[in-house]
Chain A
């Protein structure tokens, strides 16, 4: 660990948060489509 650790941690976090965010968005869209199917 050295003075650059902050940058490293932030990049790893941002990359995987973006990924989790995208997965969450997909999950939300899937739920919406399914909800519409069920309402019929």
Chain B
């Protein structure tokens, strides 16, 4: 990893842009109703965006695996799922601490929050199923199917605030029926910077986790070979 220039460069770019995003986010002007709480917008929304990106990645890489049967797509699908769970947790933690002073409760069981919690079950299950299957090809196949079906979570979670009545706000950035951003333009710019920074972060994490997955796979194969030799010796 240390010798890999692309990873290092990507890491530096991510670090820099995250720094800029945090600085902008923490100095954004106060909202007329929520005061400084509006600054949570710039981590909560990009975290959720990153988790969507990661879950979408798990589905896409799974599909690519099924089409090409190249193991590297399976490794990226695994990496992506892990990153997705991590950022779902960040989104939930940030959201809970935003909900308490505004809604008056840390948690409510409305459609958006419930489906978000469900994604941890889906992708936690995905990671668990992977750990239970020993045969790498079978594992990759099963995981690809689970990951592909799991991607449904993304549109359902995104649309949950529109489809069902709940407490969670609807989208500030409206994409359906004409693009519109219902906030002060300055918030839009800060959100854009933060979202780009988190997108870079996804690329970086995916790359590093992918490298780790490749190493782990090499180890798995090595162990398999050792077992094979050991058996042959025992039988020989």
Contact = CB atoms under 8 A, between A and B. Distances in A.
> In the complex, is A directly touching B at CB under 8 Å?
yes
Given A12-B43, A14-B93, A18-B90, A26 B212 contact: yes
Nearest to A12: B43
Given A15-B43, A22-B86, 6 more contacts: A5-B36, A7-B100, A11-B97, A18-B89, A19-B201, A22-B205
Nearest to B44: A11
B17 to A, nearest CB: 14
Interface of B is mostly: helix
Contacts of B75: none
B interface, size bucket:
20 to 34
B216 to A, nearest CB: 6
Contacts of A10: 97
A interface, size bucket:
20 to 34
Nearest to B223: A36
Given A7-B100, A8-B40, A12-B22, A30 B35 contact: no
A2 B39 CA distance: 12
Contact of A8 (B36, B93, B215): B36
Interface string B205-232: 1001101100110110000000000000
A33 B212 contact: yes
Interface in B178-236: 201, 205, 208-209, 211-212, 215-216, 218-219
A19 B219 CA distance: 26
Contacts of B39: 8
Contacts of A36: 219
Contacts of B44: 11
A26 B89 CA distance: 17
Contacts of A18: 86, 89-90, 93
Given A2-B36, A12-B26, A30 B215 contact: yes
B160 to A, nearest CB: 22
A26 B219 contact: no
